[in-house]
Amino acid sequence: MTTMKHDVIDDFKSKLRGELLEPGDPGFDEARKIWNAMIDRKPAIIVRCAGVADVMRSVVFARDHDLALAVRGGGHNIAGSAMCNDGLVIDLSRMKSVRIDPDTRRAYVEPGVLLGEFDHEAQAFGLVTPLGINSTTGVAGLTLGGGFGWLTRRLGLAVDNLVAADIVMADGNRMHVDENNHPDIFWAIRGGGGNFGVVTMFEFKLHAVGPEIYGGLLVFPFDQAKAVMTQFRDFANNMPEELTVWAVLRKAPPLPFLPPDVHGKEVVVLAICYSGAVADGKRAIEALYTFGKPCGENVGPMPYELWQQAFDPLLTAGARNYWKSHNFSALGDEAVDKVIEYAGRLPGSQCEIFLGVLGGQANRVPPNATAYAHRDALFVLNVHTRWDDPTEDKPCVAWARDFFSATEQYATGGVYVNFLTEDETERVRAAYGVNYDRLVQIKNRYDPRNLFRQNQNICPAIQPS
């Protein structure tokens, strides 16, 4: 980039409808900030695309000038793949159209849309597609990695509800992909991440859920952790698919429904979402109250859209974050003991361990039906280390890595690709599982020069002459 003539950049800029930012331009430093403050990369150009034409031109420009290329949707990815050093960033954050067709139950979503923005439009018609647990997450990145959340047990993963997409390929051309058009690419983008192009439109199936669900938080003191976690583990194996309960072990934030003497103390939180008939919700979760003696609760009917925002205050942008993750097909007593042991020595007040529960519809799909392969995962463990002061980097990262190592023997070996940090390139094959070799073949065909490599990269096995 340092040797590129200004007239070349000016010519490129003149062909864009969106905005091109370079270092020193007003707004450049703000535009390169992403959710994880541990990522501090400095691209040479950021193109804030106004539409598909800008995306196509940006891909061609990066390819023709041999530039590193990153793609930003919501900018929420833990590994910071939305940014690169000394290259070009395709910033999709201004492409925010969401069109809901309630008659056909289809949603047409641009790649800059966040989960909360999607929910706002879909819930106007009492409709959903299963997407994540945090309203500030980008729809694009979450979906391309697989995408699971509160409705996954009942409705499957985000990729199981993706019926078509528009994608700009490495040659700069746009493809429409679905089961009948370029089915190999359609298969690959359902779990293969951003390795194959820039998706400029997602078409999702919609389902009737809401506007209310029955859910909330049930909080137990930490001295009951063993009993609560063991019973939670057993309950998760048999709960109805309309019900999702996740366990979160952390220090209690100052929530108004918790007694002041609990604030800052270790607790076990059961996060509950029942998407069946609201009138049946209380009965569906009554067994959870027998796990121990809660120290606080905030459970009842609430808007689905509000529940999707419940964890937003704990996941705001600008903190330093480091994750480690495992998949489990079962959670034995020894694994539960390790979870409790490490939850008892959290390195900071913002750190937490969560165990998401899948199963149900997500696990009935064959592992080779989509690029997302981990259909054997019942529990997904995320060791979520979060802090503000850079001087705490070493102890926080060390705690997460130690916990990861201590629980590795109980895990399947698979991992959710969206939970991989930037230093885990050795786990890329595990992230794509049994589908890795097929993904490499598709990469060979459509991106042999590996233009789309700023991700958990599927490296092509051949290099063109």
- Span 68-80, average pLDDT: 96
CATH of the domain at 306: 3.40.462.20
Q: Do 108 and 79 fall into the same domain?
A: no
Q: How many independent structural domains does the chain possess?
A: 3
Q: Do 61 and 125 fall into the same domain?
A: no
Round to whole Å and give the CA distance between 49 and 21.
11
Does residue 371 belong to any structural domain of this protein?
Answer: yes
CB neighbour list of residue 464: distance below 8 Å, 6 or more residues apart: 448, 449
Does residue 309 belong to any structural domain of this protein?
Answer: yes
Q: Do 204 and 231 fall into the same domain?
A: no
Q: How far is CA 115 from CA 122, 143, 437, in A?
A: 10, 11, 31
Q: Do 204 and 129 fall into the same domain?
A: yes
Q: What are the tens digits of pLDDT across the range 103-151?
A: 999 999 999 999 999 999 999 999 999 999 999 999 999 999 999 999 9
Q: What is the DSSP string of 178-223?
A: SSSSSHHHHHHHTTSTTSS-EEEEEEEE-EE--SEEEEEEEEEEGG
Does residue 147 belong to any structural domain of this protein?
Answer: yes
Is the pLDDT at 465 greater than 50? The verdict is no
Q: Do 358 and 395 fall into the same domain?
A: yes
Average pLDDT score, the chain: 96
Domain that residue 385 falls in: 212-425
Q: What are the tens digits of pLDDT across the range 363-414?
A: 999 999 999 999 999 999 999 999 999 999 999 999 999 999 999 999 999 9
Round to whole Å and give the CA distance between 88 and 67.
7
Question: Which amino acid does the sequence have at 312?
Answer: D
- Assess contact for 310 and 244: CB atoms under 8 A: no
- Span 308-318, average pLDDT: 94
DSSP β-ladder status, 45-48 and 88-91: parallel
Q: What are the tens digits of pLDDT across the range 139-154?
A: 999 999 999 999 999 9
pTM, entire model: 0.96
Tokens 């606080």 sit on residue? 296
Q: What are the tens digits of pLDDT across the range 169-202?
A: 999 999 999 999 999 999 999 999 999 999 999 9
Among residues 249, 168, 169, 151, the alpha carbon closest in space to that of 205 is found at 151
Interior CA angle at 457 toward 451 and 186, to 5°? 80
CATH of the domain at 74: 3.30.43.10
Among residues 279, 151, 242, the alpha carbon closest in space to that of 204 is found at 151
The pLDDT of residue 231 is 98
Q: What are the tens digits of pLDDT across the range 413-436?
A: 999 999 999 999 999 999 999 999
Q: Do 262 and 226 fall into the same domain?
A: yes
Does residue 72 belong to any structural domain of this protein?
Answer: yes
Q: Do 27 and 131 fall into the same domain?
A: no
Q: What are the tens digits of pLDDT across the range 164-175?
A: 999 999 999 999
Q: How far is CA 88 from CA 52, 173, 262, in A?
A: 16, 18, 48
Does residue 13 belong to any structural domain of this protein?
Answer: yes
Q: What are the tens digits of pLDDT across the range 330-367?
A: 999 999 999 999 999 999 999 999 999 999 999 999 99
Residue 320 token pair:
């330093």
CATH of the domain at 137: 3.30.465.10
The pLDDT of residue 120 is 97
Does residue 454 belong to any structural domain of this protein?
Answer: no
- Span 32-41, average pLDDT: 97
Round to whole Å and give the CA distance between 389 and 391.
5
Interior CA angle at 256 toward 259 and 352, to 5°? 80
The pLDDT of residue 3 is 61
**How many residues belong to the chain?**
465
Greatest alpha-carbon span in the chain: 71
Q: Do 175 and 226 fall into the same domain?
A: no
> First and final CA of the chain: distance in angstroms?
24
Does residue 251 belong to any structural domain of this protein?
Answer: yes
- Assess contact for 49 and 91: CB atoms under 8 A: yes
Q: Do 65 and 102 fall into the same domain?
A: no
Q: Do 204 and 233 fall into the same domain?
A: no
Q: Do 272 and 396 fall into the same domain?
A: yes
- Assess contact for 204 and 162: CB atoms under 8 A: yes
Q: How many CA atoms lie within 13 A of 81 on its CB side?
A: 30
Q: How many CA atoms lie within 13 A of 420 on its CB side?
A: 22
Does residue 459 belong to any structural domain of this protein?
Answer: no
Q: How far is CA 214 from CA 16, 142, 242, 274, 457, in A?
A: 47, 25, 10, 5, 39
The pLDDT of residue 5 is 78
Of 38, 61, 91, which residue constitutes the final position of a domain? 91
Measured in degrees and rounded to the nearest 5, phi and psi for residue 112 equal -90, 0
The pLDDT of residue 463 is 57
The pLDDT of residue 123 is 98
- Assess contact for 109 and 164: CB atoms under 8 A: no
The pLDDT of residue 2 is 53
Is the pLDDT at 464 greater than 60? The verdict is no
Residues facing 325 on adjacent strands? 382
Q: Do 218 and 199 fall into the same domain?
A: no
- Span 446-460, average pLDDT: 97
- Assess contact for 147 and 132: CB atoms under 8 A: yes
Is the pLDDT at 1 greater than 80? The verdict is no
